[in-house]
Amino acid sequence: MEAKKAKKSKISQVNLTLEVVDTAGKSKNSISLDKTVFDQKVSLALLQQAVNTYLANKRSGLAVAKTKGEKRGGGKKPWRQKGTGRARVGSIRSPLWRGGGVTFGPRRKSYNKKFPDRMKVQALKSALNAKLKDKQIVVVDKLNIKSSKTKEFSKIISNLGISNKKACFVVPSFDQNIKKAAANIKKVKLDKASDINALGVINCRRLVVTKDSLDIIQKRLKKWL
């Protein structure tokens, strides 16, 4: 019984304080996380459903193969029905012929799935808690660069120690300099704090969040919790 209690106490003792660094990678101060949002509860089933839904909704479903009736030509019967010794054919656009239609080919369709807002919030909360458990959240004081050069943004990535990792930078709003500078870096993605979802959080090795963005995300989630 005592061993079980000790295990429970270890689980409940969660470090809800994160170090805040600047763009040079130097420690500035620390920030306390909201207990209602960061409660270390992760629902893997909900995360899987969220990721599948977001990926399905990205599909365009525009693939189309023409059927026999949609192919141009084929109005005239190639030869008479009987007497030639050949197999009977009604159209040169038969699926059995080269250049003919396709049988059971792909048709234009929608892959959209519904995902309730409350489930979206819970999925995002689970994703954030999963990142917190794996120590993959980096809090930056501010993210400002003077020019739109990729070299300047690459220096910030190097200072944060995430050069070879897939990173998602969450900002309060898109700054044109940051947007242009990050566009040429393959493993870097920019997201707004008001638009970030479970897929965006899960699909990276490091979640770099500015101090203001973290406040926006926490306020956004607290409305539903």
Q: Which CATH architecture has domain 2-59+111-222?
A: 3-Layer(aba) Sandwich (3.40)
* pTM for this model (two decimals): 0.84
Distance CA 44, CA 130 (A): 9
Q: Chunked in runs of 10, what are the mean pLDDT values of the chain (225 residues)?
A: 48 74 93 94 96 96 95 94 96 95 96 96 97 96 91 95 95 93 93 96 96 96 92
- Side-chain-side CA neighbours of 91 within 13 Å: the count stands at 15
Distance CA 143, CA 172 (A): 10
The per-residue pLDDT for range 75-132, each reduced to its tens digit, is 999 999 999 999 999 999 999 999 999 999 999 999 999 999 999 999 999 999 999 9
What are the residue boundaries of the structural domains of the chain, listed by start?
A: 2-59+111-222, 62-110
Q: Are 209 and 128 in contact (CB under 8 A)?
A: no
Here the tokens at position 167 are 């990173």
177 burial type by CB count under 10 A (0-12 exposed, 13-18 middle, 19+ buried): middle
Cα dihedral 139, 207, 180, 154 in deg (nearest 10): 80
